[in-house]
Structure 1
């Protein structure tokens, strides 16, 4: 195998978060570009984080992908702080989904690093905006969401902290779905987040990529209802498709396997991430090729980067990429604190691999 086989839990955890950030920042330069456009301007791919793109971001700046991932990360940090301080009776403070939603509102309103206070994000998905406006009114994660039929990748891109920091299998599945549903409550989105985080959860336990994907297939199968035996369940089918795809082939020939041309449909982003995970090449080469596919380049690369970082560990991310990332130091610091807390207090170390 080309990737490092034995990174520590801390290295994998930091790698997962910085993998999201690096994929996001690398892909943002070519966001909205088609495969043909990218092949003409970057025939061998964009190999450095240079900024620019549709919104002229500085090199290493977070887009909404990393910003919202940060919101979930901070929610877990706040939750752990309450536990460490003995505040076990603070019910609202222990609702990670609500904490995450409140951070999303802060991000939406401009109370966010790197942005003028009060200034909204330059780029936000329609489902995300509708879901956050609903949460602002209800203050209830169970009564938000953009509704059935909205199946973009806007919750899959941010869900990875749950796979890293929720160490009980059942709660990890439930929280993945609840945090998705704040904005993306369509089952294709909520179940994709649960399946994706199952992969992360397994990789952190040093399962192989194939074993991790098999665990995700079990979760998808258990959560999807009313499946047609001929066509298969949507999320399960997307995962299986990912195991048959070649990232290198899609980078060279385009996203012909996808009706939506990899432009933001959650199931296509999930398939690309699974294909990236199964690709034995170094993380850098795989992420460069994910961006070459075109379409929703930053989000596809962020989602794939999270799995690759969990697989290979932080040292697999090129140093020249890492040093540019806007939230690198914060992500590293918080992850170290949270992983140390997990290692001291994890009551789910022997958690079984029962499905849900």
Structure 2
């Protein structure tokens, strides 16, 4: 269990660090500049050092910290972790999250609603999906897992599409932690949803952008069509668009399936947050044994 939890956290961080190099580029631009990205080299529009991560991993860590501090009622603690992180002026924060964290005055869900209205109902970005995996890792009770997954999404993203994507993703993760095969888990959870066509298309007919539905479609596409963890994150990173987030979200599930011991060391050893992820893996595992 600890190896799987560690694999999920590290898998997400590796995808983030790898995909950050190509974020906001298209496939042709990536090919012209890099050929094919196969290692974590940093750079990108955020000018990262090799092994640095983006807001995707930072917010995932914030969710994990909040859960480990207060497993029975983690939302207030998660919120405090969000605010603490935002006070450090991180780079590349998404619009919806930035507005919610800047305007928060005591009620997360009310603030998310106000931002949703101010953005003409557009709060269905992928910012809550990219951070939700620790909820599935921490809770062995499915009802509790789904409740916290839903609430952590609604803290910043009022749109139901965002919460639905988080639930589908974490239900797949929950199945993996019960020993189910990834493709079986994926098929069971996307059946009769807008994501079911992933199993039948050669490639998605939408851009790999930050809209949560498009993001999850591309995540599921890579998970369905790639065999190894390395293939999943490399293919996602080299497709461009919102590549750090798509590679991170896909890498989290594939890393969870593979376990940490199967992740390439050239990816895991370079991460700047590796010690933090090691400690959080142990803490989340301990929570799972209690809750």
Q: Report deviation, 1:40.
A: 2.0
Deviations 1:242-299 (A, max 9, x none): 32345xxx5xxxxx610xx212111111112212222352111221111111101111
Number of corresponding residues: 285
| Structure 2 residue ranges without an equivalent (≥5) | none
Q: Which runs of 4+ in 1 moved over 6 A?
A: none
Q: TM-score, normalised by structure 2?
A: 0.92
Q: Report deviation, 1:184.
A: 0.9
- Name the CA distance, whole Å, in 2 between partners of 1:129 and 1:266: 17
Q: Is residue 2:269 matched to residue 1:323? A: yes
Residue in structure 1 matched with residue 127 of structure 2 by the alignment:
154
Residue in structure 1 matched with residue 194 of structure 2 by the alignment:
237
Larger Rg: 1
Contact kept in structure 1, 2:109 and 2:156, CA below 8 Å: no
Contact kept in structure 1, 2:137 and 2:288, CA below 8 Å: no
Q: Is residue 2:64 matched to residue 1:73? A: yes
Q: TM-score, normalised by structure 1?
A: 0.76
Residue in structure 1 matched with residue 161 of structure 2 by the alignment:
188
The DSSP-based 3-state class of the residue aligned with 2:70 is helix
Q: Is residue 2:278 matched to residue 1:286? A: no
- Name the CA distance, whole Å, in 2 between partners of 1:313 and 1:102: 30
Q: Bigger relative contact order, structure 1 or 2, given CA contacts below 8 A and separation 6+?
A: 2
Deviations 1:35-80 (A, max 9, x none): 111122233x201001111121111112000000000010111125
- Name the CA distance, whole Å, in 2 between partners of 1:197 and 1:141: 22
CA RMSD of aligned residues (A): 1.7
Contact kept in structure 2, 1:29 and 1:53, CA below 8 Å: yes
- Name the CA distance, whole Å, in 2 between partners of 1:275 and 1:245: 9
Q: Is residue 2:63 matched to residue 1:101? A: no
Q: Report deviation, 1:340.
A: 3.5
1:29-178 map, 5 Å = 29-43=21-35, 45-80=36-71, 94-110=72-88, 120-134=89-103, 136-137=104-105, 139-145=106-112, 146-147=115-116, 148-178=121-151
Q: Report deviation, 1:215.
A: 4.0
Residue in structure 2 matched with residue 13 of structure 1 by the alignment:
5
Residue 245 to residue 40, structure 1, CA distance change in 2 (3 Å): farther
Q: Is residue 2:231 matched to residue 1:262? A: no
